Every structure is written in structure tokens, then in C-alpha cells.
Amino acid sequence: MCEANAYLVKEGKEELILEDISILRPERDELYLQNIFGEQKRIKARIKEMNLIDHRILLEEGS
């Protein structure tokens, strides 16, 4: 499997937002995330880094 986990970086710490993401899509001023189990989240953030080898997506809070 090649799903990734998404983390929101807050004050230098990483907070897990959603595991096993299969879809990440920008929608207007937010990001839409969906995992392999159908769980969905929308978050006002931007992508800071994607490391697909380590299955990690780092997000920063949006303005």
C-alpha cells in the first residue's frame, strides 16, 4: 500500500490529522482529505512537504 498519513504542524509540533490518505485535493481555500476507509476531512491548510517514501504529508495552517 502507498497511502500516507497527514500531519498538521503547529508551533513546531506535528499533530496527526488523518491516517491512510488515498485522496488529497485542493478545494478553494482548503484541502480535502479522504482515507481508504472513506473518512473525510476538510482543513484550512497548505502543503508544507510531501514525503511519499516515508508516507508522510506535512501541512501548515492556512491564512
What is the full per-residue pLDDT of the chain (63 aa) written as tens digits?
678 999 999 988 999 999 999 999 999 989 999 999 999 999 999 999 999 999 999 999 876
Predicted local confidence at residue 3, as pLDDT? 87
Measure the CA–CA gap between 35 and 58, rounded to whole angstroms: 16
Q: What are the residue boundaries of the structural domains of the chain, listed by start?
A: 6-13+22-61
Question: Quick one: how far is CA 51 from the chain centroid?
Answer: 11
* Contacts of range 11-20, beta carbons closer than 8 Å, 24 or more positions apart: 14/58, 17/41, 17/43, 17/59
How many helices (DSSP H) and strands (DSSP E) are in the chain? Answer: 0, 6
